[in-house]
Amino acid sequence: MEETILNRGKIKRSKKIYFMSYMPQFFNLYYSSLKANIDRLNDSRQLKKEFFEKLKYELNLDSPRSYNEKIQWKKLYDRNPLLTVTADKYAVRSYLKSVLGEKSASELLIPLYHVTDKPENIPFGELPEKFVVKPNHGSQMHIFVEDKNQLPYELIIKECKRWLKVNFGFYTGEWAYRNIKRKILVEKMLETETGEMPLDYKLYCFHGKCKLIRVSGNRFGEEVLSGYFDTDWNLLPFGVPGYKCNHPYDKPGNLGEMISLAECLSKPFDYVRVDLYSIGKKTYFGELTHYEASGMGRLEPESFDFMLGQYWNIEPGYWQKKPQL
């Protein structure tokens, strides 16, 4: 579950992020870099141990076959420069404009109220009643403000300052995040006509083609609902532990548009998950996810993990190859 504040003055944090935010910046960089180098010298021994503990099968980096194995390979070896650009939740806005054009991208992007590297400068008095605060350089860090008059600004500022101290990529091994210039973003809170959070559509794209879609709803309720579908909107018998799976969501009227958009944005990558929102028939861009669950996400059944891996053909240096004419 992503970190949230819902006007109750309570913060649910990743313990690792909370610990990192109290360490001096030089310690964060030194420790995490040293840990990564030791891990490589030990043939990724710690990574393999953690992988086995979470997924219950051995990690094979020499010949990865499963989806999670290939995410681990991507973390260690994929150095496509666009990974850093598109993992950056601020810079990715420019990526959309370069690919889709200014007008088309602007229609898809969630309105941005403010961006800063100094949280104390956020103009709270000028913001609407509802908004979302998040950093541009990692995950598990969001603040959803439903009524700004019920949540002390000092609490938000303090949390944002913690985020800015965290070099997310060094601790997760997710290379794309390591060199992002850290900022705080304040965006519009998306809601349906009934005031609910919109459904979250995650389109899994391999080599420029969308192969399946995961839909999530009620993400901050007591029971998160989720379902996997193929591109013809047939419900698939797969799931994620901890979620109520196989939920029969209706086919969205803009499904074709979302698939075309995801495939367009995914072309420079061997794999990326394109996260979109849909309200009515209007599509909004969420983010590009390169390392789902940091390559440690259990899937049910386990064969689903390997089925997804079959869509992904690893080619080292794929981004450097000249396109076929």
Cis peptide before 301 (omega within 30 of 0): yes
What is the distance between the alpha carbons of residues 253 and 258, in angstroms, rounded to a whole number? 10
Q: In a structure prediction context, what are the per-residue pLDDT tens digits for the chain, which is 325 residues long?
A: 344 444 444 444 544 554 555 555 555 555 555 555 555 555 588 899 999 999 999 999 999 999 999 999 999 999 999 999 999 999 999 999 999 999 999 999 999 999 999 999 999 999 999 999 999 998 888 999 999 988 889 999 999 999 998 888 877 889 999 889 999 999 999 999 888 889 999 999 999 999 999 998 876 655 677 899 999 999 999 988 877 666 778 999 999 999 999 999 999 999 999 999 999 889 999 999 999 999 999 999 999 999 999 999 999 999 988 655 4
pLDDT at 272: 98
The model's pTM: 0.88
Q: State phi, psi for 286 to the nearest 5 degrees.
A: -100, -70
Please give the structure tokens belonging to residue 256: 């074709």
pLDDT at 276: 98
Map out the domains of the chain with their CATH numbers: 1-42+111-189 (no CATH), 64-110+194-315 (3.30.470)
pLDDT at 171: 76
CB atoms within 10 A of CB 30: 13
**3-state class of 288 per DSSP?**
strand
CA of residue 264 relative to chain centroid, distance: 18
